[in-house]
Amino acid sequence: DTAVSQTPKYLVTQMGNDKSIKCEQNLGHDTMYWYKQDSKKFLKIMFSYNNKELIINETVPNRFSPKSPDKAHLNLHINSLELGDSAVYFCASSLKLGQAYEQYFGPGTRLTVT
């Protein structure tokens, strides 16, 4: 059973299009995240949700909009895609267990904008 899953794993699209990436976790976690890994492999937080409430919203263009319909899902919608949006997008989830906050990552979605 996949713990954190993302669809699609690969996404190739043209500039100007709108696309969504879906994330689901079956770990019973209460917090979910979106990270972006750029072409130099640098990973940076974009958003996080705790119990469907947005708690982290980094400096990201407002073309990016996260949506959490329930605790197990966090989707990322991107409007008017640009060449610079090409990257790998990772979803992650975590649960507070005592003092531990381990984050578990999905397989990533490689987005290529042409």
Partner 1 sequence: AQTVTQSQPEMSVQEAETVTLSCTYDTSENNYYLFWYKQPPSRQMILVIRQEAYKQQNATENRFSVNFQKAAKSFSLKISDSQLGDTAMYFCAFMRGQAGTALIFGKGTTLSVSS
Residues that bind partner 1 (CB under 8 A): 31, 33, 35, 40-45, 48, 50, 55-56, 58, 88, 90, 92, 94, 96, 99-105, 107-108, 110
Backbone angles phi, psi at 45, to 5 degrees: -70, 145
Q: Strand pairing of 19-25 and 73-78?
A: antiparallel
- Specify the residue, 18 or 102, whose C-beta has the smaller distance to partner 1: 102
- Specify the residue, 15 or 43, whose C-beta has the smaller distance to partner 1: 43
Strand, helix or coil for residue 84: helix
- Specify the residue, 73 or 104, whose C-beta has the smaller distance to partner 1: 104
CB atoms within 10 A of CB 28: 9
